Amino acid sequence: MAELQIEDIRRLAHATVVAAASREESLRCAGRLAAAVVCRSAGPLPCGVCPACRKAMAGIHPDVIRVKRPEDDKGRPKKEIQVDQIRQMAMDAVVLPNESERKVYLIEDADSMNVSAQNAALKLLEEPPAGVYFLLCVTNPAKLLPTVRSRCAEWSCIGGEEEQDPAQRKLAQEFLGLVARGDRAGLFRWCAANEGMDNRGAAAFVDCAADCAARRITGREPAGGMGREQLLRLSELLDRCAAMLQVNTGVKHLFGLLAVDAIAEDENRGVQH
Ligand SMILES: [Zn+2]
């Protein structure tokens, strides 16, 4: 991870997905980021020697709080982070920090939050209490709901954003373009032309479209004429599609849903054909 300056911390998004190829790498990267947030040095950050850094790195800083998967009675981590843990975090997050001016919640294995836990986190990620930062450590950002991802910036430990598959990206951009123009007839034709793809291809398309929507919401790519509300609504629809694919709903159904629901009633701008 490159050295950080105080300006980087001032610019750090309050909700950040810390993605890396391995669990250890994501935790290490988020650990350094958390130390940088509470570090007392003027920079570069984290200095590694001030008391705040030393406590953060030893895991004993009271304002760097780790949220982990709960353990079963044999001391093994359970599969999922539960909704109660996120509710607990939400209550704790409004309490002022102890020693630092800021407070960091480092969520280990954030991609193991179950759907209710992720939904419970939405409001918190959208409007975090002042001075509170959430670092969501993941190896697979695609396991986060598009609505969660769209509320977070992404911090890639491997340098640069992960490249999207060009073919999937083209499909996603076509789809978003039709939605942005409110071109209902064009969307119907597009969905009919693509409903023959297999489950795997459909899942990749949904993931890519959700990623594009998230980039537009967070300003990492131009919004293409779409408003924030419209993009958030689309993220939610893509969440539903991802959930449908997990229970093996047919791909035809999925494109049927997109054809009907991707453009809201009031978004039809009366494109003529
Ligand atoms: Zn320091």
Q: For residue 103, is it within any domain?
A: yes
Looking at the fold, whether 138 and 36 belong to one and the same domain comes out as yes
For residues 137 and 223, membership in a common domain is answered with: no
| Residue of 68, 46, 69 lying closest to 57 (CA atoms) | 46
The reported pLDDT for the residue numbered 96 is: 96
Q: Which pLDDT score, from 0 to 100, does residue 244 have? A: 84
The alpha carbon of 67 and the centre of ligand 1 are apart by a number of angstroms equal to: 22
Nearest to 254 by CA among 207, 209, 184, 199: 199
Q: How far is the CA of 97 from the centre of ligand 1 (A)?
A: 17
Contact indicator for 271, 181 with CB cutoff of 8 Å: yes
CATH number of the domain residue 99 falls in: 3.40.50.300
Residue 182 belongs to a domain: yes
Residues of the chain with pLDDT under 50: 159-162, 270-273
In a domain, 273, yes or no: no
Domain end among 156, 178, 212:
156
Q: How far is the CA of 60 from the centre of ligand 1 (A)?
A: 14
Whether residues 144 and 13 fall in one domain: yes
Amino acid identity, position 86: I
Q: Per the omega criterion (within 30 degrees of 0), is the bond before 44 cis?
A: yes
Does 204 lie in the same domain as 123?
Answer: no
Q: Residue 136 belongs to what domain range?
A: 6-156
Tell whether 210 and 241 lie within a shared domain: yes
Task: State pTM to two decimals.
Answer: 0.60
Say if residue 182 is in the same domain as residue 106.
Answer: no
Residue with tokens 């009366």: 270
Choosing from 156, 179, 206, the residue where a domain stops is 156
Domain end among 156, 186, 207: 156
Give the Cα separation of 272 and 28 in Å (integer): 54
Quick: pLDDT tens for 132-157.
999 999 998 989 999 999 999 988 77
Give yes or no: residues 198 and 230 share one domain: yes
Instruction: Quote the tokens at residue 164.
Output: 């999207």
How much distance in Å is there from the Cα of 1 to the middle of ligand 1?
Answer: 16
| Tally of domains in the chain | 2
Q: Which residues pair with 39 in a beta bridge?
A: none
pLDDT by residue (tens digit) across 69-86? 999 999 999 999 999 999
Ligand 1 center to 42 CA (angstroms): 9
- For ligand 1, the distance from its centroid to the CA atom of residue 126, given in whole angstroms, is 28
Neighbours of ion ligand 1 (CB under 5 A): 39, 41, 46-47, 50, 53
Beta strands in 46-131 (DSSP E): 64-67, 103-107
Q: pLDDT value at position 219?
A: 65
The CA 44 to ligand 1 mean position distance, Å, reads 9
